[in-house]
Structure 1
């Protein structure tokens, strides 16, 4: 694991290392191996790049240590039926896979777009000034 390039990322790794072994995750992120006691371990994969971590802290409003401690707590509290924390809009979302689940509303919009690649016949969108509505 390359160290010293991104102080914020390094701090996150250091805080997570208090829980267990931390390694780089391919293609991006970190894997934290937690000791579950009795010789068993559990791997939690954080799907997030250093740039997303910077965004999560900077744009999302976390200070470096508070953000790292928050992620540490999320790793500790991750339900046993989940193995991933996936970055989405300045937060980490517990997931079953390294991808975010598809929102049913967006899935329906994608379906409609595929059925009508040139737009819905007769459909129009208009913008009016507030005083004309």
Structure 2
């Protein structure tokens, strides 16, 4: 199934519980938040994003079987957008996710290089244990 057909299925499903309107950045969804009170949330997501989400995570399930509806309805009042990123939607005040600052505190944040492998352990016939300081000992 093409991503356009999957996208159409999503729009049709949203239209069952809200009003969906396709916009350049994704879908604008208007739903009733409480009796007589409507709310609009823009979901920033492409048809390719939806196809990736529904195919990889949900094995092409129906949109109603995913957490999409609860994410939209549960969008905090101070966020007008839900931005798709890494198989989930994140509330945002803008169409783009803001970079998170590292937590404040003592010390400095520095990148750490991956540990170098010492190759396969040669422990044939021996049991390897680690002492309290992370050093290996063979028995």
2:10 to 9, 12, 24: 12
TM-score (normalised: structure 2): 0.64
SS at match of 1:58: helix
Shift of the 32–68 alpha-carbon distance from structure 1 to 2, 3 Å rule, reads farther
How many residues matched? 109
TM-score (normalised: structure 1): 0.67
Answer with 1 or 2: which has the greater Rg. Answer: 2
Q: Check whether the contact 1:12–1:68 (CA below 8 A) recurs between aligned residues.
A: no
What's the counterpart of residue 50 of structure 2?
A: 53
What's the counterpart of residue 20 of structure 2?
A: 22
SS at match of 1:56: helix
More helix by share: 1
Shift of the 32–82 alpha-carbon distance from structure 1 to 2, 3 Å rule, reads same
Q: Check whether the contact 1:15–1:72 (CA below 8 A) recurs between aligned residues.
A: no
Q: Check whether the contact 2:10–2:63 (CA below 8 A) recurs between aligned residues.
A: no
C-alpha separation in 1, matches of 2:47 and 2:3: 10
Q: What is the 5 A alignment of 1:23-102?
A: 23-26=21-24, 28-36=25-33, 37-38=35-36, 40-61=37-58, 63-66=60-63, 69-102=66-99
Gap runs ≥5 in structure 1: 106-124
Which string of whole-angstrom CA distances, capped at 9 and with x for unpartnered residues, describes residues 29-50 of structure 1? Answer: 1001123433x43211000000
Gap runs ≥5 in structure 2: 103-112, 120-139
Q: What root-mean-square deviation, in Å, do the aligned CA atoms of Structure 1 and Structure 2 show?
A: 2.8
